[in-house]
Amino acid sequence: MDGMNEFFKNPSWISLLGVIGFFVYQIIKQYLSEKKQKNEKIQTNKKEKEYAIKQEANYKAIERLSEAIERLIDKEINSVNLMTAETIITAQLLKSKAIIKDEVRRIFIHNHRDNVNRQKHIKNAIRNITLTAYDNDIKALNPVLYKNKRLSEFLTNIDNAAFFKSLLQLIFATTGKPESELADIMWFIDSSFETYILNGKKYYSNL
């Protein structure tokens, strides 16, 4: 933790390696400690159980990084170098991605997507989760600056409505093979956020 605090006091590539090492350690530690407890609660097949446990560990590690970023902002150290800016952008968008994927997985487990009466509720749930994630990204990144540009500025280039529409189409495109359908949706979410993160890095590296 001391290494993390030092990183946010004086960011450099050396201290960044220390931060990355810390979070890798936390991910492994969290994965091992929660594996036994979570297996009994997850109502999916073996592959999905292992994936969900790993995602939970990753999500907690991202939460810790988000808390560190908030502490940085509280100290009014809001002007960062490019490497730190990219780290913050990546952490925030990975957090939003994890939240959206968790909601989609919940819908597949607990809702009947082919039931017309349930589809309205599902649409509202997906709309709320995507809009909330987008708004939270803006709020989290807005206070941090790189070359006098707010880290939230690149988000205006993201078509959130198109993402929502495509996500709904995949959710309701039932083929009778839920595992395959869920895998396709997870791939869509992963690839979309990889593009958002890459575009965010390009935006600030070109300043």
Tell me the three-class secondary structure of 74-98, residue by residue: HCCCCECCHHHHHHHHHHHHHHHHH
Are 120 and 24 part of one and the same domain?
Answer: no
pLDDT tens per residue across span 152-185: 999 999 999 999 999 999 998 876 787 888 999 9
C-alpha–C-alpha distance, residues 4 and 13, integer Å: 13
Q: Which of 77, 108, 143 is the last residue of a domain?
A: 77
* Helix 116-141 vs helix 82-110: crossing angle, to nearest 10: 170
Are 103 and 200 part of one and the same domain?
Answer: yes
Arithmetic mean of pLDDT, 79-97: 88
Q: Write out the residue range of the structural domain in which residue 33 sits.
A: 1-77
Question: In which band, very low, low, confident or very high, does the pLDDT at 84 lie, cut at 50, 70 and 90?
Answer: confident
pLDDT at residue 50 in the model: 60
pLDDT tens per residue across span 117-139: 888 889 999 999 999 999 999 98
C-alpha–C-alpha distance, residues 70 and 30, integer Å: 22
State both tokens at 115: 């039931």
Which of 134, 120, 132 has the alpha carbon at shortest distance from 172?
Answer: 120
State both tokens at 68: 């560190």
Contact 35, 52 (CB under 8 A): no
**Highest mean pLDDT, choosing among 9-18, 37-46, 60-69, 180-189:** 180-189
Which of 84, 73, 204 has the alpha carbon at shortest distance from 147?
Answer: 204
The pTM (predicted TM-score) of the whole model is 0.69
Number of domains in the chain: 2
Are 110 and 199 part of one and the same domain?
Answer: yes
Question: In which band, very low, low, confident or very high, does the pLDDT at 23 lie, cut at 50, 70 and 90?
Answer: low
Q: Which of 77, 98, 123 is the last residue of a domain?
A: 77
Cα–Cα distance list, 193 to 44, 59, 96 (Å): 25, 15, 9
pLDDT at residue 203 in the model: 95
pLDDT tens per residue across span 46-78: 555 665 566 666 666 566 666 666 666 565 557
Four-CA torsion 31, 37, 40, 44, nearest 10 degrees: -20
Are 86 and 138 part of one and the same domain?
Answer: yes
pLDDT at residue 19 in the model: 53
Are 167 and 120 part of one and the same domain?
Answer: yes
Question: In which band, very low, low, confident or very high, does the pLDDT at 87 lie, cut at 50, 70 and 90?
Answer: confident
Are 26 and 98 part of one and the same domain?
Answer: no
Left if phi > 0, otherwise alpha if psi is -120 to 50, otherwise beta: which for 45?
A: beta
Q: Which of 77, 94, 119 is the last residue of a domain?
A: 77
pLDDT at residue 101 in the model: 92
The count of residues in the chain is 207
State both tokens at 206: 């070109």
